[in-house]
Amino acid sequence: MLTPETPKMWGGRFEGSLSPDAQAYSFSLQYDARLWKQELHASVAHARMMGITGMLSPHEANRIVDALLEIQAEIEEGAWFPHEEYEDIHTAIEARLYEKIGALAGKLHTGRSRNDLVATEVRMWLRERTTDLARALLELCHQLMHLAEQHKATLMPGLTHQQHAQPVTLGHHLMAHCWALIRDLSRLAQAGNRMNFCPLGAGALSGTTFPIDRELLAAELGFDSPLPNSMDAVSDRDFVAEYLFVSAMLMVHLSRLAQELILWGTPEYGYVELSEEHTTGSSLMPQKKNPDIAELVRGRSALAIGNLTAMLALLKGLPLTYNRDLQDDKPLLFATLDMVIPSVRLMCAMLEKAHWRTERMRAALQGDFSTATELADYLVRKGLPFREAHHIVGRIVRECLQQGIGLENLTLEQLQRHHPRFEQDALEVIDPERAVRARTLLGGTAPESVAHQIEQAKHWLATIEHQLNELLHSNG
Ligand code: ARG
């Protein structure tokens, strides 16, 4: 509650106050309360800087800093927490400061505005979440690499159009997902580095005439440097949109992996059995074991896309500089980050605890014609143009289908009826294992190529970790 001696933020200009409906509509404390630590840190840095540049006496600066640290302890111990009657976290903390040190509290806001404060604090909050998200993503990538290493020689059908196309290894397939996530991690690091600049000192929009040391503030709060333009500093939220894109892309990637786990867990596939830790039963059907967690990851990718879209729409056409519309960036950002971090962690756990039924994957290659390309390539090696070879093998497949057999059931005589260049070794190329082992080129599906890409992935991750480290250090 604003105490009688606490001056209202804009009391001078106004005789009345906001209607209760307008208050309820506009107050943001319910969601920005979670910025309390950033608010306190930014305020401590501001007060110290004011002490150094002479805007406050050393004694005044110390009193403000001590009171702010007391408030931090109160919140940490649960002795006090901002109540809903305050408009936002900035107002709530300032009011508490008044309760503690009286009118001196009013000096803290010199040369600063909630506009530059909020832009600063959201960046600081995001920096912390970047650490959590990066750690979770790194773990997921390592989990995929670990499984890929284990299954670099496990055969399974590779699909295009959901139809059996060519045999691949499970390790190769899992690494395909891993590379997408490595790029997400790289995007996160880049977004983090682009975001890590300090708005403080921008004031409401045009800067201030007080001797605010922006370099000092930026350094104190772990930013790379101050933002160069005060108007941009208070009105830009592209870093929020960028994080929402990185998150949405990541969730879309997770949804593709989740969808495969769901499909692979059906009796029709039977490639994988998810752990009881990540599946649920049915209240009606006793036999059920449902992949709810994977389904929720798949579904929540839709929410992440929605939040990104909402954020872009929020910014579209918004004139400079600060407009209250910008307040609504936070529910979008918070909701997405709250969703994306556990999604990554759960996907990691789901993969770790899953039981892989490799015999089912191998069996799915029986009679599936997925080595038809090998047979065509065989004829090409015998000198036939690929188009002709393709046509001949197409006819062989048709004949097999009519007879209800697979390529592996063909005899040499049958093959030679289609073309005289087929010799004994043609029967060997039909073997899926051989087809996989022959794809040793860079990025191919052969076990040694998979092992090589796992090594490459480790290098990529080390480079990204290095980029991230600087950012993560800024969290102090
Ligand atoms: N709650 C506001 C936000 O999150 C803080 C800035 C308010 N500034 C203002 N001029 N009303 O954007």
Tens digits of residue pLDDT in 61-82: 999 999 999 999 999 999 999 9
Judge if 383 and 356 occupy the same domain. Answer: no
How far apart (Å, rounded) are the C-alpha atoms in residues 233 and 474?
19
Q: Which atom of ligand 1 lies at the shortest distance from residue 322's CA?
A: 10
Q: Which atom of ligand 1 lies at the shortest distance from residue 28's CA?
A: 1
Closest C-alpha among 183, 185, 6 to residue 101: 6
Judge if 408 and 466 occupy the same domain. Answer: no
Residue 343 has which token pair? 């999604």
Query: What element of type H or E holds 163?
Result: strand 163-169
Q: Which atom of ligand 1 lies at the shortest distance from residue 326's CA?
A: 12
Q: Does the residue 39 lie in any domain?
A: yes
- Please report which confidence band the pLDDT of residue 10 belongs to, taking 50, 70 and 90 as the band edges: confident
Q: Cβ(246)–Cβ(184) under 8 Å? A: yes
Q: Does the residue 395 lie in any domain?
A: yes
The predicted model gives 17-35 an average pLDDT of 94
The predicted model gives 31-60 an average pLDDT of 97
Q: Give the pLDDT confidence score for residue 3 in this predicted structure.
A: 46
The predicted model gives 192-216 an average pLDDT of 97
Q: Cβ(66)–Cβ(97) under 8 Å? A: no
Q: Does the residue 436 lie in any domain?
A: no
Judge if 136 and 27 occupy the same domain. Answer: no
327 CA distance to ligand 1 middle (Å): 6
205 CA distance to ligand 1 middle (Å): 12
Judge if 203 and 343 occupy the same domain. Answer: yes
The predicted model gives 120-124 an average pLDDT of 98
Judge if 247 and 318 occupy the same domain. Answer: yes
* DSSP per position, 430-466: T-HHHHHHT--STT-SSHHHHHHHHHHHHHHHHHHHH
Q: Give the pLDDT confidence score for residue 145 in this predicted structure.
A: 98
Residue 5 has pLDDT above 50, yes or no: no
Judge if 467 and 422 occupy the same domain. Answer: no
328 CA distance to ligand 1 middle (Å): 10
Q: Which residue has the tokens 């001949």?
A: 392
132 CA distance to ligand 1 middle (Å): 27
Least confident range of 18-32, 153-167, 256-270, 353-367: 18-32
109 CA distance to ligand 1 middle (Å): 14
CA dihedral 78, 82, 83, 88 (to 10 degrees): -160
Q: Which residues are identified as catalytic?
A: 161, 282
Ligand 1 proximal residues by C-beta, below 6 Å: 28, 32, 88, 114-115, 118, 322, 324, 326-327
Judge if 25 and 132 occupy the same domain. Answer: no
Q: Give the pLDDT confidence score for residue 476 in this predicted structure.
A: 56
Residue 2 has pLDDT above 50, yes or no: no
Residue 8 has pLDDT above 70, yes or no: no
Residue with CA nearest ligand 1 atom 2: 327
CATH number at residue 414: 1.10.40.30
The predicted model gives 417-437 an average pLDDT of 97
Q: Give the pLDDT confidence score for residue 35 in this predicted structure.
A: 98
161 CA distance to ligand 1 middle (Å): 50
CATH number at residue 336: 1.20.200.10
Residue 7 has pLDDT above 60, yes or no: no
**Per-residue pLDDT tens digits for 227-241:** 999 999 999 999 999
Judge if 157 and 55 occupy the same domain. Answer: no
130 CA distance to ligand 1 middle (Å): 24
Structural domain of 228: 115-364+452-475
Judge if 188 and 330 occupy the same domain. Answer: yes
Q: Which atom of ligand 1 lies at the shortest distance from residue 87's CA?
A: 1
CATH number at residue 78: 1.10.275.10
Residue 223 has pLDDT above 70, yes or no: yes
- Share the mean pLDDT of the chain: 95
119 CA distance to ligand 1 middle (Å): 9
Among 18, 327, 334, say which to mutate for ligand 1: greatest number of ligand atoms within 8 Å of CB: 327
Q: Does the residue 142 lie in any domain?
A: yes
Judge if 101 and 198 occupy the same domain. Answer: no
**Per-residue pLDDT tens digits for 297-320:** 999 999 999 999 999 999 999 999
Residue with CA nearest ligand 1 atom 4: 327
DSSP 86: S
Q: Which atom of ligand 1 lies at the shortest distance from residue 89's CA?
A: 1
Q: Does the residue 303 lie in any domain?
A: yes
Q: Give the pLDDT confidence score for residue 364 in this predicted structure.
A: 98
Residue with CA nearest ligand 1 atom 12: 327
Least confident range of 245-259, 329-343, 459-473: 459-473
Overall number of domains in the chain:
3
Q: Which atom of ligand 1 lies at the shortest distance from residue 32's CA?
A: 4
Q: Does the residue 80 lie in any domain?
A: yes
**Which of 58, 92, 110 is where one domain is finished?**
110
Q: Does the residue 62 lie in any domain?
A: yes
**Which of 110, 132, 157 is where one domain is finished?**
110
Among 39, 88, 235, say which to mutate for ligand 1: greatest number of ligand atoms within 8 Å of CB: 88
Q: Cβ(468)–Cβ(134) under 8 Å? A: yes
Residue with CA nearest ligand 1 atom 3: 327
**Which of 110, 131, 162 is where one domain is finished?**
110
Q: Cβ(475)–Cβ(127) under 8 Å? A: yes
Judge if 120 and 236 occupy the same domain. Answer: yes
Q: Does the residue 141 lie in any domain?
A: yes
Judge if 56 and 128 occupy the same domain. Answer: no
- Please report which confidence band the pLDDT of residue 164 belongs to, taking 50, 70 and 90 as the band edges: very high
Residue with CA nearest ligand 1 atom 5: 114
The amino acid occupying position 451 is: A
How far apart (Å, rounded) are the C-alpha atoms in residues 453 and 472?
27
